[in-house]
Amino acid sequence: INNYMRGKDPMPFDLLYWNSDSTRMAAANHSFYLRNCYLENNMSAGRMTIAGRNIHLSDIKIPVYNLATKEDHIAPARSVFLGCRYFGGDVDYVMSGSGHIAGVVNPPALKKYQYWTGGKPEGTFENWVANATETPGSWWPHWHKWIESKDSQLVPARRTASKLKSLAEAPGTYVRVRV
């Protein structure tokens, strides 16, 4: 009410700041994305075309770590589970506790929420959940082990573009601002 109806700034809250950090996607791109990935579901059906080429998720053969959040209202956990079938390679499905933002942005140090692992995303979603292992805390350490199992070699971070002057080193000064 204070923000939308009275025009006041919202109370400082980390997830609201995360949520308002938009991608600044161009209107045409946003429209294309919503139409093809949601309204007409063209991407999963293999009917989405970019630069004259159909995009088929089955062409993706690299390992996929597919994270869902249990109470997500935008990408429901069941839908993400079913979507795993469209990829052409190995998919590891993991479900995090909480919702769309909090379930993803769950730093390990806070020791909040939980996540579930249950092997390959096969059979029914209900059966996968019933047999999954619940682990307390953030899913990030699990992902870290998963990615290291694929390739543990570390490389130096890239330098930012030389034509433009950087405002600051990553992740940026705004991340460190305390309100």
In this structure, is the dihedral angle defined by the CA atoms of residues 29, 34, 37 and 43, taken in order, positive or negative? negative
pLDDT by residue for the chain (179 residues), tens digit each?
Answer: 777 788 887 776 666 666 665 666 788 998 999 999 889 999 889 999 999 999 999 999 999 999 999 999 889 999 999 999 999 999 999 999 998 888 888 889 988 899 999 989 999 999 999 999 999 999 999 999 999 999 999 999 877 667 777 778 777 787 777 76
What local confidence, expressed as pLDDT, does residue 110 receive?
87
* Residue (of 18, 130, 149) closest to 81 by Cα position: 130
Cβ neighbourhood burial of 72 (10 Å; 0-12, 13-18, 19+): buried
What local confidence, expressed as pLDDT, does residue 80 receive?
95
Helix residue ranges, H only, 35-76: 42-45
Number of other residues whose CB lies within 10 A of the CB of residue 103: 24
What local confidence, expressed as pLDDT, does residue 2 receive?
76
What local confidence, expressed as pLDDT, does residue 136 receive?
96
From CA 77, how far away is CA 71, in angstroms rounded? 7
What local confidence, expressed as pLDDT, does residue 166 receive?
76
What local confidence, expressed as pLDDT, does residue 119 receive?
85
Angle at 160 between CA 158 and CA 164, to 5 degrees: 165
User: Which tokens in the block code for residue 53?
Assistant: 């080429």
